[in-house]
């Protein structure tokens, strides 16, 4: 991969070039989501900054995150890139958006990694456009898509399990935890939302990015959501993972929420669940990093719908380690699978009675240097490929020895709120 200031003096890669990427500095593009067409588009937004992309240059359907890492480094070796941006921010240049399934052994869908044709990005005041293709693209693109349409007349139906059936599954998990099969298992449920007309994913992403600006709002291949949990971000060798585990619903009354937050921070059940999750992340990162910092105690992350116990683990990644390699090591974390991993994953496949597809899998992007951000696909929905009026929503909860099925169902409902609100209630 070659980043060059000008077109003259381009250095060719060792293998014949397959793709050409050209990045230019642009004026502030305004609201990034306004650039997106309705279909075949990508987004990764936090606090208004991030990247949007559209068009498809190449798509890979890897079996595992590790396969994707290998494919990506091979592809990067066959790219000629030029950039106007000196000291370019991570993501500004040749890059791909991706979304991975939770459990490749228990799903009918595939993971994807797609290099878009056009990317528009903004990061800390620097704005760029990258165009990618089988030759350098010099044409100017200023799409003026029609505004996003709100969904109409949305109705909901149970997915794999009804509420009471899911509570029974949680009760069974609690019994099996008592019998020593696992320490923790994360059980999720799905809900089918159906609108009167095709759902415009741009509307959902727009609402999520506005309401959940502290989360990472994403759109990749029909998967739309706003996650508060960062599996791993890597930038200039610094790796960060935000672990969440331990949740309470907000009451709508800020005084009461404050009391709830301090109760959450002292709750032994939640702290124990949190410790499992942090320890699993630290263990998985250790072989690829040095100088790891694991804070002693979590903080409380406040979102509009829930409060979470959160810990940010940071470390220096070994040279040559990509964000995808780290994501491969971290997925599935205890926050979305359980501990120990293998029996927890088997219990999920047995008890949930649904296909998680890409829910709870890594979602994000990777650039040519191996920097990238891979969130955990939570608070999300997957648009139906064959019927664009339909979207499947997912939410789950960590189940430990003291879990109460009724409270867990209410917690799952609270985690569905972002997507339900985006769909109009």
Ligand X SMILES: C=C(O[C@@H]1C=C(C(=O)O)C=C[C@H]1O)C(=O)O
Contact residue for ligand X among 159, 364, 398, 405 (CB under 6 A):
398
Asked if 358 and 383 touch (Cβ cutoff 8 Å), the reply is: no
Contact residue for ligand X among 415, 418, 419, 422 (CB under 6 A):
415
**Complex with ligand X: residue 89 or 246, whichever CB lies closer:** 246
**Complex with ligand X: residue 289 or 336, whichever CB lies closer:** 336
- Beta partners for 379? none
**Complex with ligand X: residue 119 or 182, whichever CB lies closer:** 182
229 is annotated as an active-site residue: yes
- How many angstroms separate the CA atoms of 323 and 370, rounded? 6
Joined together, the tokens standing for residue 337 give 């699978």
Contact between 381 and ligand X by CB under 6 A: the answer reads no
Q: Single out the catalytic residue among 38, 61, 167, 229.
A: 229
Contact residue for ligand X among 205, 260, 383, 397 (CB under 6 A):
397
Contact residue for ligand X among 52, 65, 289, 336 (CB under 6 A):
336
Contact residue for ligand X among 90, 289, 335, 383 (CB under 6 A):
335
State phi, psi for 84 to the nearest 5 degrees: -80, -15
Contact between 173 and ligand X by CB under 6 A: the answer reads no
Contact between 170 and ligand X by CB under 6 A: the answer reads no
- How many angstroms separate the CA atoms of 365 and 324, rounded? 9
Contact between 313 and ligand X by CB under 6 A: the answer reads no
- How many angstroms separate the CA atoms of 337 and 186, rounded? 5
Contact residue for ligand X among 219, 308, 331, 369 (CB under 6 A):
308
Asked if 167 and 207 touch (Cβ cutoff 8 Å), the reply is: no
Q: How far is the CB of 347 from ligand X (least distance, A)?
A: 14
**Complex with ligand X: residue 265 or 316, whichever CB lies closer:** 265
Q: How far is the CB of 390 from ligand X (least distance, A)?
A: 20
Asked if 72 and 96 touch (Cβ cutoff 8 Å), the reply is: yes
**Complex with ligand X: residue 122 or 308, whichever CB lies closer:** 308
Asked if 36 and 217 touch (Cβ cutoff 8 Å), the reply is: no
Contact residue for ligand X among 92, 224, 395, 417 (CB under 6 A):
395
Neighbours of 93 (CB within 10 A): 25
Joined together, the tokens standing for residue 285 give 């990162």
Contact between 247 and ligand X by CB under 6 A: the answer reads yes
Joined together, the tokens standing for residue 290 give 């040095």
**Complex with ligand X: residue 202 or 308, whichever CB lies closer:** 308
> Segment 339-378, which members bind ligand X (CB under 6 A)?
378
List Cβ<8 Å contacts ≥24 apart for 246-249: 246/270, 246/271, 246/273, 246/274, 246/298, 246/308, 246/309, 246/398, 247/306, 247/307, 247/308, 247/309, 247/397, 247/411, 247/414, 247/415, 248/306, 248/307, 248/411, 249/305, 249/306, 249/410, 249/411, 249/414
- How many angstroms separate the CA atoms of 202 and 40, rounded? 11
Contact between 188 and ligand X by CB under 6 A: the answer reads yes
Q: What share of the chain is helix, strand, coil (3-state, %, to 5)?
A: 30, 35, 40
- How many angstroms separate the CA atoms of 1 and 78, rounded? 7
Interface stretch with ligand X, choices 109-117, 131-139, 253-261, 391-399 (CB under 6 A): 391-399
Q: Which residue has the tokens 């609690």?
A: 174
CA angle 144-98-218, nearest 5°? 55
353 is annotated as an active-site residue: no
State phi, psi for 378 to the nearest 5 degrees: -115, 170
Interface stretch with ligand X, choices 111-119, 209-217, 245-253, 338-346 (CB under 6 A): 245-253
Contact between 326 and ligand X by CB under 6 A: the answer reads no
**Complex with ligand X: residue 224 or 397, whichever CB lies closer:** 397
Q: How far is the CB of 246 from ligand X (least distance, A)?
A: 5
Q: How far is the CB of 178 from ligand X (least distance, A)?
A: 18
In the shown chain, the binding pattern of residues 201 to 230 toward ligand X, with x for contact by CB under 6 A and - for none, equals ----------------------------x-
Binding site for ligand X (CB under 6 A): 186, 188, 229, 244-247, 308, 335-336, 378-379, 395-398, 415
Which residues participate in catalysis according to the annotation? 184, 229
């Amino acid at each position: 991969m070659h980043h060059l200031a000008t077109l003259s003096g381009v250095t060719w890669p060792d293998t014949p070039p397959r793709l050409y990427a050209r990045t230019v500095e642009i004026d502030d593009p305004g609201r990034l989501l306004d650039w997106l067409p309705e279909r075949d588009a990508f987004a990764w937004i936090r606090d208004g900054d991030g990247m949007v992309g559209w068009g498809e240059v190449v798509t890979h359907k890897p079996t595992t995150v590790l396969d994707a890492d290998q494919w990506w480094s091979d592809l990067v070796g066959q790219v000629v890139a030029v950039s106007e941006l000196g000291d370019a921010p991570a993501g500004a240049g040749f890059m791909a958006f991706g979304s991975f399934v939770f459990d490749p052994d228990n799903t009918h869908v595939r993971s994807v990694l797609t290099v878009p044709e056009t990317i528009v990005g903004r990061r800390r005041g620097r704005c760029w456009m990258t165009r990618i293709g089988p030759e350098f693209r010099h044409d100017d693109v200023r799409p003026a898509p029609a505004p996003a349409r709100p969904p109409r007349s949305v109705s909901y139906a149970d997915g794999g399990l009804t509420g009471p059936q899911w509570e029974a599954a949680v009760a069974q998990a609690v019994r099996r935890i008592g019998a020593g099969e696992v320490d923790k298992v994360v059980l999720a449920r799905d809900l089918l939302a159906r609108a009167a007309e095709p759902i415009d994913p741009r509307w959902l992403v727009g609402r999520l990015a506005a309401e959940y600006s502290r989360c990472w709002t994403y759109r990749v291949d029909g998967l739309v959501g706003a996650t508060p949990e960062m599996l791993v971000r890597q930038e200039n060798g610094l790796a960060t993972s935000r672990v969440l585990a331990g949740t309470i619903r907000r009451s709508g009354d800020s005084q009461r929420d404050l009391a709830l937050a301090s109760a959450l921070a002292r709750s032994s059940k939640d702290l124990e669940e949190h410790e499992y999750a942090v320890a699993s992340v630290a263990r998985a990162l250790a072989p690829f990093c040095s100088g790891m910092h694991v804070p002693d105690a979590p903080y409380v992350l406040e979102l509009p719908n829930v409060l979470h116990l959160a810990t940010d683990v940071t470390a220096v990644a070994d040279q040559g380690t990509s964000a995808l390699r780290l994501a491969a090591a971290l997925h599935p974390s205890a926050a979305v699978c359980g501990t120990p991993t293998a029996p927890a994953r088997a219990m999920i496949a047995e008890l949930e009675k649904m296909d998680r597809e890409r829910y709870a899998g890594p979602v994000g992007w990777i650039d040519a240097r191996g920097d990238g951000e891979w969130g955990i696909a939570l608070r999300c929905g997957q648009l139906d490929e064959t019927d664009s009026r339909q979207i499947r929503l997912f939410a789950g909860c960590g189940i430990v020895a003291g879990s109460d099925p009724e409270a867990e169902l209410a917690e799952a409902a609270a985690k569905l709120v972002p997507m339900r609100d985006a769909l109009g209630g």
